[in-house]
Chain A
Amino acid sequence: MTEAESFEQFMRDYQNMVFSTAVRLLVNEAEAQDVSQEVFLKAYERFAELQHSPTVGGWLRKVTTNLCLNHLSRYRNRWRFFSEMFRGDDGEDETAFESTLVADSSTDGEVRSSDDRAQLEATLQELPPAQRVPLVLYHFEDFSYEEIAAMTKTSLAKVKTDIFRGREALRKKLRIRLARDEDGCGAVDMPRGGVSVLRASLLNLMP
């Protein structure tokens, strides 16, 4: 097997993992693909040592996460720079920035799916970045609160609050989505796989 073939196989093995991390952090699929491509180009530069490393998965996750966080902060800074330059008001920046991302996701073809898992995935993508990013890092990437605080350059208390708010928003939004489904607004394929478990566990949660 040539080096190019080995690298292609390597990408086939890890592409879904890298892309999943990127798309859950960034929401936009085209941006996630750009970041995934950058991750694999970095991996190619170190392929000789990564090829047989047992920690390659962790390395890829870490690089993907860092590139996504850089990407988000760059987007946020640039958006702020231009919005302040052209509009001159900075009071609603955060909200407006977040709403643009939500709007992006809907234009990306985030149509309501009949599958509850897809509903959950879509609900997760609707969360504002301040809640979604720490939530994804905590539950999918298994980073600790302290690590997330260091990565996002925020305080530990803020990370904990954002994650709690994120979970709460996820629960509320998902409940609304599933209720809408049951009311017949969309086609529903009832229980399949983890569907009933998800619905039942959601209903059992009482604040």
Chain B
Amino acid sequence: MNESYEKQLEAWAETALKQLPPRTAPATLIPGVMRAIVERETRPWWRKSWMGWPTWFKTLFVVLSAAVGLTMVRLCTVISAEAVQTVTSTRPYILGQKFVLACFEMIVSSAAYLWNSILSLPTPYLVGLGLIVALAYAGCVGAGLAIHRLVRSEPFSQ
């Protein structure tokens, strides 16, 4: 195919296509958008995404999640006699009036314990652990994306 024909064809396509008027949007488009906006704004907060939750609940959620996560990590270390002793010694605290303080202490000590435990691991183990975490994370993201694309998204609903 010669170059002048290609240019001629390009010029023809440009002129022909540019003369096409815009397509008219269906009359149902604007009412549909307005309905979706109203529906979105009147939706209760617990049915919105995490970003739409009230700040106090987001804070509470983060604190509780951290507490649950770290407590579970801590419980995994209870196998050692020292850990058992620590839990036993905090028991009166928990049963008393200083429950929040006890929880906070537990979170901080658990985090410190976890951090020290990780740092004490030999380098190959650390690298291996990092790889496992990265792979698990990538796996979760991949599975989430696949499920979202195949199950949740319905772009052809009419």
- Give chain A's interface residues, CB within 8 Å of chain B: 4, 7-8, 11-12, 15-20, 23-24, 29-31, 33-37, 40-41, 44, 71, 74-75, 77-78, 81, 117, 120-121, 124, 135, 139-140, 164, 167-168, 170-171, 194, 197-198, 201-202, 205-207
Query: Residue B19 contacts which of A71, A77, A194 (CB distance < 8 angstroms)?
Result: A194
Query: Chain B nearest CB: distance from A33 CB in Å?
Result: 6
Residues of B within 8 A of A77 (CB): 149
A202 touches B12 (CB 8 A): yes
Known A-B contacts A164-B9, A201-B15, A205-B8; A17 and B34 likewise in contact (beta carbons under 8 Å)? no
* 7 contacting pairs across A/B (C-beta < 8 A): A11-B30, A16-B25, A41-B33, A75-B156, A81-B150, A140-B18, A167-B13
Query: Residue B16 contacts which of A11, A34, A198 (CB distance < 8 angstroms)?
Result: A198
Residues of B within 8 A of A164 (CB): 1, 6, 9
Most chain A CB within a 10 A radius of its CB, from B12, B19, B23, B24: B23
| A44 to B21 CA separation, bound complex (whole angstroms) | 26
Query: Chain B nearest CB: distance from A162 CB in Å?
Result: 13
Instruction: Tell me if B122 is interfacial: C-beta within 8 Å of chain A.
Output: no
A20 touches B23 (CB 8 A): yes
Query: Residue A18 contacts which of B17, B20, B25, B34 (CB distance < 8 angstroms)?
Result: B25
Q: How many A-B residue pairs have CB under 8 A?
A: 113
Per-residue CB contact flags for chain B residues 27-42 toward chain A (1 = under 8 Å, else 0) read: 0111011101100100
A29 touches B26 (CB 8 A): yes
Known A-B contacts A19-B26, A117-B19, A202-B12; A75 and B32 likewise in contact (beta carbons under 8 Å)? no
Query: Chain A nearest CB: distance from B6 CB in Å?
Result: 6
Query: Chain B nearest CB: distance from A76 CB in Å?
Result: 11
Instruction: Tell me if B157 is interfacial: C-beta within 8 Å of chain A.
Output: yes
For the complex, would chain A's binding face be called helix, strand, loop or mixed by DSSP majority? helix
Instruction: Tell me if B10 is interfacial: C-beta within 8 Å of chain A.
Output: yes
Residues of B within 8 A of A117 (CB): 19-21
Known A-B contacts A74-B149, A75-B155, A168-B9; A19 and B17 likewise in contact (beta carbons under 8 Å)? no
For the complex, would chain B's binding face be called helix, strand, loop or mixed by DSSP majority? helix
Instruction: Tell me if B115 is interfacial: C-beta within 8 Å of chain A.
Output: no
Query: Residue B150 contacts which of A75, A78, A205 (CB distance < 8 angstroms)?
Result: A78
A206 touches B26 (CB 8 A): no
Going nearest first, the 8 A-B pairs with the smallest beta carbon separation are: A19-B25, A15-B25, A20-B22, A20-B23, A139-B17, A16-B22, A167-B13, A40-B33
Per-residue CB contact flags for chain B residues 110-127 toward chain A (1 = under 8 Å, else 0) read: 000000000000000000
Residues of B within 8 A of A206 (CB): 5
Residues of B within 8 A of A120 (CB): 16-17, 20
Query: Chain A nearest CB: distance from B135 CB in Å?
Result: 23
Q: Knowing that A37-B32, A167-B12 are A-B contacts, what are 16 other residue pairs whose CB atoms are under 8 Å apart, sorted by A's residue number?
A: A8-B30, A15-B25, A16-B25, A19-B23, A33-B32, A34-B157, A35-B155, A36-B25, A117-B20, A139-B13, A139-B17, A140-B18, A171-B12, A202-B12, A205-B8, A205-B12
Residues of B within 8 A of A16 (CB): 22-25
**B50-91 at interface with A (beta carbon < 8 Å):** none
| A198 to B14 CA separation, bound complex (whole angstroms) | 11
